[in-house]
Amino acid sequence: MTGCDMIASLNKLPQIELDADIKLKRAFAGDKETILAFVAEFFSKSWAGEVEAAILHRKCYISAKDGKVCGFACYDSSAKGFFGPIGVDPALRSTGIGKALLIRTLEQMKADGYGYAIIGWVSDAEMFYRKVVNAEFIQGGEPQNSVYSNMVVM
């Protein structure tokens, strides 16, 4: 199954393991343009819109290496209780950055009072979410049945 929402419990999240040269932090509004340029370069303009909303509401985390943005993860940008989008510089994938961003963001969602996170419109990353946080697909969670049905172009 691809292109469907998933759900993950926030009850037992794994520990973050990350190299010391990678820093995780909540996105700072003053860095918004730098972060959005990174998102637009490696991902998409539509994701940049979601990331901007998350930054302005203090619901975005970033990773940085050598003073440069190398990843991001957001929540509550598409809808309340939704995790995503998330992205890591393609040259740094498989280094644990995505896993650390996912866990840190879900920890914040738990601290905000959420019991579960909906991971929106998952396709290729299914196994990543299953492995890291035991996420499962939501029956009937296809984009046309989800919050994404509000998009102008799906």
Q: Would you list the domain boundaries of the chain?
A: 4-150
**One-letter amino acid of 129:** Y
Write b or e for each residue in 82-100: b if 16 or more Cβ atoms lie within 10 A of its Cβ, otherwise e.
bbbbbbbbeeeeebbbbbb
Q: Beta 116-122 vs 22-26: how paired, if at all?
A: unpaired
pLDDT for 1 equals: 44
Residue-averaged pLDDT of the chain: 93
Long-range contacts of the stretch 127-131 (C-beta < 8 A, 24+)? 128/98, 128/99, 129/6, 129/8, 129/102
Residue 126: band (very low, low, confident or very high) from pLDDT cuts 50, 70, 90: very high
Residue 153: band (very low, low, confident or very high) from pLDDT cuts 50, 70, 90: low
Topology, domain 4-150: Aminopeptidase (3.40.630)
Taking residues 51-80, report their average pLDDT. Answer: 97
This prediction has a pTM of 0.93
pLDDT for 2 equals: 61
Coil, helix or strand at residue 9:
strand
pLDDT for 154 equals: 47
Cα gap 78→141, rounded to integer Å: 14
pLDDT tens string 81-115: 999 999 999 999 999 999 999 999 999 999 999 99
pLDDT for 151 equals: 67
pLDDT for 58 equals: 98
